[in-house]
Every structure is written in C-alpha cells, then in structure tokens.
Structure 1
Amino acid sequence: MSNPCIICVAITGSLPTKENNPAVPISIAEQIESTQAAFEAGASIAHCHVRDDAGMPTSDPDRFASLKEGLEQHCPGMIVQLSTGGRSGAGRERGGMLSLRPDMASMSVGSTNFPTRVYENAPDLIDWLASEMRTYGVKPEIEAFDLSHILRAKEMADKGEIEGTPYVQFVMGVKNAMPVDRDVFDYYIKTVHRLFGPDTPWCAAGIGRHQLALNEWAISSGGHARTGLEDNVRLDRDRLAPSNAALVELAVGLCEKYERPIATWQQARQILGLRKVAA
C-alpha cells in the first residue's frame, strides 16, 4: 500500500504512573521531551493529557497551554491533540482548554462501561463540546468505544454539529467495553466507509497487551495507528517499554512490514484536512 500511515502517540493519559513504568512522563517537561523523541521516531500526532503536581489527572487549561507551547517549540509541525476525556474533569471543565485552539481534540460521543465505572458522556455535554470545537476551529477525533458512536458521529456530521468528515478512532480492549474482535474491527471499517465514503481516514487503538495487534490490524488494513504509554506500558510480556519512542518504533516496523510509508506531519495535516503551519 502506498498511502502514508499516520502514527499517533498517546504520551501520558490519566492512569499510568511511574510505579507502573518509570518511563511514563508526568511533568510538562517530561512530556515534551518524551513527545519530541516519539516525533523524531515517526509520530505525527501527539494525544495529550496533563497532570497536577501530585501526578493526578487534571483539565487545567494553564497546564495544557504550557504543554502545547512546548510541543509547538520542540516538535514543529506536529499535530497537537488535546483530550477532553472524563477522567480528567467533570462536565464542561473537560473542554476548558479548547479555547487554546489545538489542531485536534478527542471527543467521545456516547457513554460506555469502563473497568470500574461508567464513562459518562451526556448528550448535552457532547453538544457543548462539539460547539466549542466548531467555535475554535478544532477538529474532533471521535473515540468510538462502540458501534453506536460511529453512527452518532454520522448523525452529528449530517446536522453540521461536526464540521467536515469526522476522524474516527476505534478503541478496543477496554475491560467491559468493546473487546478485541477482528470481525467487529472489520465491520467498523466497513461502517466508516459506508457512512463517510471509501477514502475516509480512520484510526485504531488497542489497550494494554492488545496495542500491537491493533497497530497491525490498522496498518495492514489501510488505516492509521495509535500507540504510546497511555494505553500500554510494556514492550512485550517480559519488558517494560523504555519510552514512547520505543512503542512508536514498533508501529514503524509494522509499516515497513506492510510497505506503508510513514506520514510526515505535512502529509498527516493534509490527510486530516488540518490547517497548514510553518515548521
């Protein structure tokens, strides 16, 4: 396949700690350094969360601003995608950083079960997040934990609540949510192409030990891939991942296996319809 593969690196998340893996970057400075290495290894999107001084997840816009500024300085051209996920805040607090005008932001358009809680995404909150993204020119990445989330994204796009074609990411392997199932994965691809068109870009993320499998499924099927310490802290069963860059390198190796070129940040911006920037 000749179409370039976009690699997204989810650098930190809300859950992993240094007790899980010392390489997990917690401070803003650590996140910038870790992302720069991942960028140089081939990642063109940085999916970002921030932590407070105690290492706990937060939606603090000031911390997001510091991270965004550092990434733009040290990873020029890289797509900055901020998280509006529910572990970092409640209600509209989750979208308080959208006024920073990042390139992208994650958005879950429906609720789902997580290991010990319900990941609640109420319709009025979804509508507000989508409105803020339109106001500030932020492209949403639809995190689909369920088939219904893809269908809901189509409905929102048809109503103009999402501008342009949504970029859908299939999330598989979260306990109590969608398991890693190849038939379901293939049907997700079929659904995206049926609803949005055969050339619509999409992405996939596997959680924990499923990360590499989902990377391979996505890359071999013409999609784009997410990796990083947010989703998986191990290189394999016996070894912790030494860095985000090391996980990116595994995805790069799969791209080489399936003869997919790695998307540059310029190509990634073009594929996703994002604004051009100067490096």
Structure 2
Amino acid sequence: MSKPCIICVAITGSVPQKSDNPAVPISVSEQVDSTHAAFEAGATICHAHVRTDDGAPSSDPDRYAELKEGVERHCPGMIFQVSTGGRSGAGKARGGMLPLRPDMASLCVGSNNFPTRVYDNPPDLVDWLASEMIENDIKPEIEAFDLSHIFQARIMADDGRLKGTPYVQFVMGVKNAMPVDREVFDFYIHTTKRLFGDDAPWCAAGVGRHQITLNDWAIASGGHARTGLEDNIRLDKTTLAPSNAALVRLTVELCAKYDRPVATTKQAREILDLRPA
C-alpha cells in the first residue's frame, strides 16, 4: 500500500492537565513548541484547543489567533484545525474563532453521551457552525461518535449545509459513547465509502489506551490517523508520553509497518482538497 497517511496531532484538548502529565502544553508558547516538534516528527495537521492561564478550557479567539500565527510561522504548510467542541464553550462561542479562517475545524453533527454528561450538539448550533465554515472557507472534520453522525453528514452535504466531501473521523473509546469494536470500525469504513465514495478520506481516533489500536487499524485499512496528548497521555500502561512528538513517532512507525508513506503537507492538502498554504 503506497497511499500517503496523514497524521493529525491533537496537542492539548480540554481535559488533560500538567498534573496528569507535565508534557501537556497549556500556554500558547508551549503549544507552538510542542506542535513544532510534532511537525518535525511527521504530523501534518495540528488539532488545536486553547486554555486560560490556569489551564481551564477556552474558546478565546485571541488565543487561537496567537496560536495560529505561531504554528504558521514555525510549521510551514501545516494544516491548522480548530476545535468547535462543547467542552471549550457554550453556544456560538464555540465558533468564535472561525472568522480567523483556519484550514479546518471539527464539527460534531449530533449529540451523544460523554463520561459524565451529554455532549450537546443541537441542530440549530450545528447548522450555524457549518454555515460559518462555508462562509470562511473552512473544511469541516466530522467527528463521528456514532453511526448516525456519518448519515447526518451525508444529509447536510446533500442539502448544501456542508461544502464538498467532508473529512470523517471515527472517534472510539469514549466512555458511554462508541466502544472500540473492530466490526463496528469496519462498518464505519464501509458506510463512509458507500455514502461519500471509495476515495473519500477518513480518519480514526482512539481515546486513552485505545489510541495505538485505532492508529493501527486505520493505517492498515488505508485511512488516516490521529494521535496526541489530548486523547492519550501515555506511551504504554506504565510510561507517560514525554511529548506529542513521541506519540507521533509511534504513529510513523506504524506507517512503516504497513508500507504507508507519511503524507507531506502538500500531499495532505491535496488529499483533503484544501487551499494551498
């Protein structure tokens, strides 16, 4: 298999703290440094969240602007993807950074359970976020926590709420949501190809100890991979990951195992039909 594999690094997220792993980058300067090291290791997408000074999740557009500028300066051509997830804010504040025109943004098109609460994505908010992405020429990454989310993405593409072919990411291993199940994973691939075409790009993300499993399955199956400290703070059961770059290097090793070249920034932009850097 010679199809290049795009590696996304989810650098920070909204949950892990330095008390969990000192390598979690909290300040914008830490995030830029961590992203640069991950970029040098092979990552071509930076999935970004921002935090306040005390580590709390935030949707502050000014912090996103500073992070975007730093990543673009130190990681030429890297795809900058912001999160519109519900842990970082409420209502339209979740999309307050979209006028910055990042290359991509996450979009969850339906609700589901999380470990201690409902991940609430009401239709009117989903429609507003999708319209902002069209307005600002941002490609959505559909965060599929459930099979229905893939079908909803197809409906939204058909009626014009999504532009072009979305990038679908299967998220597995979140407590109270979709568990890590190989038959379900394979059916996700089948469904995505049936609804969007055999060449539609897709990705997979596994949470916690499942990160390496989902990376392995995705790379072996021709998809793309997400890694990083947002989803997993360990190299193995007893060892904390020293950096985002260390997790990226594990993913690069899997690419070699399955004879998948690691996508360059130019290849990743072409695969995802993004504007040039």
- TM-score of the superposition, structure 2-length normalised? 1.00
Q: Name the SS of the counterpart of 2:212 in structure 1.
A: helix
Which residue of structure 2 lines up, in the alignment, with residue 20 of structure 1? 20
Which residue of structure 1 lines up, in the alignment, with residue 270 of structure 2? 270
How far residue 155 of structure 1 moved from its aligned partner, in angstroms, is 0.2
Matched, 1:59 2:59: yes
How far residue 203 of structure 1 moved from its aligned partner, in angstroms, is 0.1
Which residue of structure 2 lines up, in the alignment, with residue 44 of structure 1? 44
Aligned AA for 1:158? D
Which residue of structure 1 lines up, in the alignment, with residue 261 of structure 2? 261
Matched, 1:161 2:161: yes
CA distance in 2, matches of 1:7, 1:66: 23
Which residue of structure 2 lines up, in the alignment, with residue 151 of structure 1? 151
CA distance in 1, matches of 2:256, 2:53: 40
Aligned AA for 2:254? L
- The Cα offsets for residues 69-114 of structure 1, whole Å up to 9 and x where unpaired, read as 0000000100000000000000000000000000000010000000
Which residue of structure 1 lines up, in the alignment, with residue 132 of structure 2? 132
Q: Within 5 A, what are the aligned runs for 1:170-189?
A: 170-189=170-189
Which residue of structure 2 lines up, in the alignment, with residue 219 of structure 1? 219
Which residue of structure 1 lines up, in the alignment, with residue 110 of structure 2? 110
- The Cα offsets for residues 201-231 of structure 1, whole Å up to 9 and x where unpaired, read as 1000000000000000000000000000000
- The Cα offsets for residues 93-150 of structure 1, whole Å up to 9 and x where unpaired, read as 0000000000000010000000000000000000000000000000000000000000
Q: Name the SS of the counterpart of 1:9 in structure 2.
A: strand
- The Cα offsets for residues 26-76 of structure 1, whole Å up to 9 and x where unpaired, read as 000000000000000000000000001111000000000000000000001
Q: Name the SS of the counterpart of 1:209 in structure 2.
A: helix
CA distance in 1, matches of 2:124, 2:147: 20
Which residue of structure 2 lines up, in the alignment, with residue 142 of structure 1? 142
CA distance in 2, matches of 1:254, 1:57: 31
Q: Within 5 A, what are the aligned runs for 1:243-258?
A: 243-258=243-258
Gaps of 5+ in 1: none
How far residue 176 of structure 1 moved from its aligned partner, in angstroms, is 0.1
Q: Name the SS of the counterpart of 1:235 in structure 2.
A: strand
CA distance in 1, matches of 2:105, 2:94: 11
CA distance in 2, matches of 1:36, 1:145: 29
Gaps of 5+ in 2: none
Aligned AA for 1:224? H
User: Aligned-pair RMSD on alpha carbons?
Assistant: 0.3
CA distance in 2, matches of 1:71, 1:195: 34
Q: How many residues align?
A: 277
Flag as ranges the 4+ runs of structure 1 deviating above 3 A: none
Aligned AA for 2:62? D
How far residue 158 of structure 1 moved from its aligned partner, in angstroms, is 0.4
Aligned AA for 2:32? I
Q: Name the SS of the counterpart of 2:23 in structure 1.
A: coil
Which residue of structure 2 lines up, in the alignment, with residue 209 of structure 1? 209
Which residue of structure 1 lines up, in the alignment, with residue 192 of structure 2? 192
Matched, 1:70 2:70: yes
- TM-score of the superposition, structure 1-length normalised? 0.99
How far residue 178 of structure 1 moved from its aligned partner, in angstroms, is 0.1
Which residue of structure 2 lines up, in the alignment, with residue 7 of structure 1? 7
CA distance in 2, matches of 1:266, 1:205: 22
Aligned AA for 1:96? G
How far residue 238 of structure 1 moved from its aligned partner, in angstroms, is 1.1
